[in-house]
Structure 1
């Protein structure tokens, strides 16, 4: 196989100027978001020196995502997704500007900072489902997986770059300037989406309120392939998420060296970027369900083995493998959701997928911490990895449509 075929498929960037502009705007905005994530954590810690308040930052981001998400998905499926996305982008930019103002003035208590973070998360919970329809509406079906892989690789690259830049800018310019820079990046996202055509739902619009949400839930529970994809993702994150265990495992196995601890997350991200950059054969395969099952299973095996090793370089290599497998699994999950869901339901299903993708890791980190408290960090890793493999095997065995890529009766 040639190197060109192995590399990520950039056909969507060459063939669709609209997608290219959207992708560039999204990439810049994601970079600003990761810089702000570091800035918020730094500011909250600097104001309180409290781990409780630092932990509250995560709650301020996740709770609005869950509470607002499904209702926002119903709204998205009744209106012009482009207009809704632009409104949400403006809302996030305003929140970033208010964070910048308080960063420069220093007159807002820590609770006020968290309120602004939560407000920004609410707008993100609206914009995410709206953006979920862009790729399948802008690209031919055979290029959807490649477009989603491009989104994934840019997001993971910014996850590597953003925190580092955020730390540098914090040292040079302070928290206010970092928030202001994030606000400016939303202008790029707005410009990227402004040239999109109107994107109303195709088919019957969503019913208003709770009835529309219940229609989306009925689709999720009834469609075996989409349901299997979301369950597989939950199995990987809730049962085997390792991040909360890294400090403990580092102390148990690697002498507590902070340099080793810092490399753990970097190894996961490097593996994800590398795998996505070489995802050309995977996205061209046309079997996202099989790829997702294999990726989630490999994630569990790699993390279980990481819990057993004592050599730091072997451990970092296993984390890179886990990160690569997870990245391919995420690309495949999003591909399944966006190609198997009717457009009229896509906002609600994307909202549910967003909740799974955001909430699963937090629950997984909580699970890992509780199990480690009863046993040890290594035991929690090994047990979680093995449970993940068992759960993924069960989903693959009981959902042949997901494994084989065959049509289902409910489609």
Structure 2
């Protein structure tokens, strides 16, 4: 059953990872506007800030998870086909509007799938399932940008958009093979109260809050990279699409350590792993502006990914350890919505900032931002809040 889950989740995520990169390339190619590229990427991600908590509350009480996941993929495929007709051939506002339609249910791709894990894997098997889940994210992040870059270089960016639509259709078929999970058996509180309960739990659980703050700010910095890296390729004499291979190299290293170190990192509390890894990740990025060739930068990307690998399993672990099963949907999609929303702000900021300060300075800002994210998470965890179950913590650490 876990294999079916990983197949469906990875297919959906491959398409999603192609979208952000392909949209940037499509807009840059047809309009040559970094600002519009940033706004379009932000429009794809920004609605998740609002929809994530709502979708999570609904997932915790519905038996139609498969239908929601499949519908999200169908909408994504339709929007990508529509993008081919409108980008560069209509008013600029149409492009981000379409992107926003596809992004409305975006938290389902990450949080919606991940929230199913506690129901599909036994509790003692969750650390291994989390490592496989991190590998799913990593495999998608390797394949997505690399596929978009290769298809764009060999054929065209339009062909990459078509491949996204095809991948979305295949993921719908894979989702149909997943089991229909029963509706949550928690108390049937009013819907809006249920939404607020997820937000309150995230805000009042210090260790979960520390992980969430750190990973949310991490995604804001990652959003900056989506704009910075394609533009940085020009300084190395490479086409903009070559940035896709950097993303693939990052995730290749990340998947390696996520799989190899997954069982060992349970010796420490998950939020501690998250904060330490993100700080080291930022430190690794300080070397990127020094790379004088694409080959050197590619090696640095693999090394940086090796540093970042343990973060995702630890992030999933923090959500599972510090949240009851009845809140898993809300916690996963709300946290995912915060991450996606932060990435949107990062892209929009980079679209305005990078043309002014240059890509070398932008990469240094990325490094500093990651280290600041770790510090902000540590401060957030120090604030007083609700007590954490020591039994849950022991189950993960021991």
Q: Under a length normalisation based on structure 1, what TM-score does the superposition of the two structures give?
A: 0.75
Match of 2:74 among 93, 111, 121: 93
Matched, 1:51 2:30: no
With 266-275 and 143-152 compared, the bigger mean Cα shift is at: 266-275
Q: Which runs of 5+ in 1 are unaligned?
A: 1-17
Q: Distance in 2 between matches of 1:239 and 1:402?
A: 31
**Any conservation in 2 of the 1:206–1:344 contact (CA below 8 Å)?**
no
**Are residues 272 and 33 of structure 1, via their aligned partners in 2, closer, same or farther at CA, if it must alter by over 3 Å?**
same
Match of 2:332 among 332, 335, 350: 350
Q: Distance in 1 between matches of 2:372 and 2:85?
A: 48
Partner of 2:264: 282
Match of 1:160 among 120, 142, 145: 142
**Are residues 178 and 384 of structure 1, via their aligned partners in 2, closer, same or farther at CA, if it must alter by over 3 Å?**
closer
Residue by residue over 1:112-163, the C-alpha shift from the partner in whole angstroms, topping out at 9 and shown as x without a partner, is 4433322221132356443232111100112222222222223222322223
With 344-353 and 34-43 compared, the bigger mean Cα shift is at: 34-43
Match of 1:147 among 111, 129, 133: 129
Q: CA RMSD for the aligned pairs? A: 4.3
With 93-102 and 308-317 compared, the bigger mean Cα shift is at: 308-317
Match of 1:71 among 31, 54, 77: 54
Partner of 2:173: 191
SS at match of 1:256: helix
Shift in Å at residue 26 of structure 1? Answer: 2.1
**Are residues 176 and 94 of structure 1, via their aligned partners in 2, closer, same or farther at CA, if it must alter by over 3 Å?**
farther
**Are residues 40 and 406 of structure 1, via their aligned partners in 2, closer, same or farther at CA, if it must alter by over 3 Å?**
same
Q: Distance in 2 between matches of 1:187 and 1:244?
A: 25
Q: Under a length normalisation based on structure 2, what TM-score does the superposition of the two structures give?
A: 0.77
**Are residues 280 and 247 of structure 1, via their aligned partners in 2, closer, same or farther at CA, if it must alter by over 3 Å?**
closer
Structure 2 matches for 1:367-406, cutoff 5 A?
373=357, 376-377=361-362, 380=365, 383-384=368-369, 386-388=371-373, 390-394=375-379
Asked which structure has the greater CA Rg, the reply is: 1
Partner of 1:138: 120
**Any conservation in 1 of the 2:8–2:171 contact (CA below 8 Å)?**
yes
Shift in Å at residue 346 of structure 1? Answer: 1.9
Match of 2:211 among 222, 225, 229: 229
Match of 2:13 among 30, 38, 63: 30
Q: Which has the higher contact order (CA 8 A, sep 6+)?
A: 2
Q: How many residues align?
A: 384
Match of 2:24 among 28, 35, 41: 41
SS at match of 1:199: coil
**Any conservation in 2 of the 1:203–1:343 contact (CA below 8 Å)?**
no
Match of 1:335 among 317, 341, 344: 317
Q: Distance in 1 between matches of 2:232 and 2:156?
A: 31
Residue by residue over 1:286-315, the C-alpha shift from the partner in whole angstroms, topping out at 9 and shown as x without a partner, is 742332232123223333x42796777887
Q: Which runs of 5+ in 2 are unaligned?
A: 394-398
